[in-house]
Amino acid sequence: MKTKGVILAGGKGERLKTKNEKIFTIIKNKTLIDHAIHKLKLLELEVNIVTRPDLKDKIKNEKNIYVQKKPMGTGHALNIFLKNNLYFKNCLVINSDTPFIHKNDLMRVLSQRDKADLILLSYKYENNNSNGVILKDSQKKYIIKEFIHLDKNEKKNDNCFSGIFLFNKKISKEFLKIKKDFKKNEYLITDILKIIYNKKYKVKILKSRYPELCQGINTKKDMLLIKKNLKKMNL
């Protein structure tokens, strides 16, 4: 059995306010989804994509595309993939709006795949207001909290979740237990840490060596920042 790559590409991307769908936004002569596909192929991983029905036929030259009929969050999207893929050893999950994650960071994650059941890639980002922050609670176990819910001391933590993670077959059944967050009307990937909280799985956090490339592209400001960082890093 092998490691599979999964791209979550079902979000509407309304905050970006572009003419095209967010996954077809062009940066450096390629769409975001093409950058994500290229990144997985560089790592020699099988490419699997979960997207909306209206976008499926617009993604060219890929055969493993699964449809999320309603945008119900990343947890729901991943479970669509899992229900259609029973045979794998590990899965590396990336988001279509974070396709510029450095290849070396992803290689580091893959290099640890036999040392943990779940590996999360984190990054240092000050004044984070969108991604979850990875913390250890009083029981020394990992949790993810939204920035708006952090107390004063917790806000000093700069271990932000990049949305990139790897998990093995053993833990995959736990993702199917993610329940709907009725406040957000979504199934949230980050709830996996609550589900496995008292179970004997090994969780590992790897910190990105290229944090400038980890911020998701959700707004025009994010897009300008990524373009600036790519130029600065000669990428």
User: What is the rounded CA–CA span in Å between residue 33 and residue 65?
Assistant: 12
Give the chain's domain count. 1
- Residue-level pLDDT at 126: 63
- Residue-level pLDDT at 192: 96
User: What is the rounded CA–CA span in Å between residue 47 and residue 149?
Assistant: 35
CATH of the domain at 161: 3.90.550.10
- The low-confidence residues of the chain, meaning pLDDT below 70, are 12-19, 126-131
In the numeric block, the tokens 């107390």 are attached to 151
Looking at this protein, which amino acid is placed at residue 118?
L
Domain carrying residue 214: 3-232
- Residue-level pLDDT at 128: 59
Say if strands 90-95 and 186-187 run parallel, antiparallel, or are unpaired: unpaired
- Residue-level pLDDT at 183: 86
pTM equals: 0.94
- Residue-level pLDDT at 46: 97
Q: Determine contact, residues 94/164, Cβ cutoff 8 Å.
A: yes
* Interval 114-167: pLDDT, tens: 999 999 999 987 655 566 899 998 898 999 988 878 888 887 777 899 999 999
User: What is the rounded CA–CA span in Å between residue 215 and residue 197?
Assistant: 27
- Residue-level pLDDT at 16: 67
Alpha helices of 43-102 — where are they, by DSSP H?
53-56, 74-84
Find residue 206's DSSP bridge partners. Answer: 121
CA distances from 171 to 147, 166, 193, 200, 201 (A): 27, 10, 11, 10, 8
